[in-house]
């Protein structure tokens, strides 16, 4: 049995295919939107809890967080040495985990190079300093926050966490962790989300 291809049948098949793929695209967009809304609400719920650090610790850690944010806002390599000496202990074992799998940076000099590369190449990183969760025990504080990296392509959400230790009246970073809040959609990831 042969089916004759007529312009009318061809138009019907194309219209059905367009309707099908349009529906799939619309469902995917709605799914991503609702997933994002739910994730944003969950993040907002977590950030409503300020953490258990006493007010004096909260104040000292926020001072360090503001200085960190200020460095990433200005992104001036000429200020890198003062940024590093203000926020990191030169002799301590520093660890920075970047957003890419290969970004495990240890030590003061390597951390300085990583931050310099961020300032030059990454994007405009901003995080919620005043809404950060700050917990502490003695001379150790840990922080969790959210933010975004703005590039020409738009904003991409990121999680930010850090561990700081007290040195006199200053809080210094020992560990910093940047993590994408999302992943760019790839064909493989779309198929895996069934």
Give yes or no for residue 157 having a pLDDT over 50: yes
pLDDT tens, residue by residue, 75-105:
999 999 999 999 999 987 899 999 999 999 9
Q: Are 162 and 142 in contact (CB under 8 A)?
A: yes
- Residues 6 or more apart from 158 whose CB is under 8 A from it? 99, 125, 127, 146, 147, 148, 149, 178, 179, 180, 181
Distance in angstroms (rounded) separating the CA atoms of residues 121 and 76: 12
Q: Are 148 and 158 in contact (CB under 8 A)?
A: yes
Give the least confident one: 12-16, 69-73, 138-142, 159-163.
12-16
Q: Are 59 and 132 in contact (CB under 8 A)?
A: no
Kindly state the DSSP code that residue 102 receives in the 8-state scheme: T
Q: What is the pTM for the complete model shown?
A: 0.73
């Amino acid at each position: 049995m042969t089916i004759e291809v007529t312009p009318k049948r061809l138009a019907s098949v194309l219209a059905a295919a367009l309707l099908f793929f349009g529906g799939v695209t619309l469902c995917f967009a709605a799914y991503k939107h609702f997933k994002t809304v739910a994730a944003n609400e969950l993040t907002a719920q977590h950030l409503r809890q300020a953490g258990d650090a006493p007010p004096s610790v909260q104040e000292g850690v926020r001072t360090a967080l503001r200085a960190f944010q200020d460095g990433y806002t200005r992104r001036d390599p000429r200020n890198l040495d003062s940024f590093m000496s203000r926020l990191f202990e030169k002799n301590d074992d520093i660890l920075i985990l970047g957003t890419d799998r290969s970004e495990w940076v240890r030590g003061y000099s390597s951390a300085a190079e990583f931050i310099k590369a961020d300032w030059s190449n990454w994007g405009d990183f901003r995080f919620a300093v005043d809404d950060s969760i700050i917990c502490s025990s003695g001379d150790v504080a840990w922080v969790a926050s959210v933010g975004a990296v703005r590039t020409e392509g738009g904003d991409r959400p990121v999680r930010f966490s850090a561990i700081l230790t007290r040195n006199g009246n200053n809080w210094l970073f020992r560990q910093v962790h940047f993590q994408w809040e999302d992943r760019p959609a790839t064909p493989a990831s779309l198929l895996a989300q069934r």
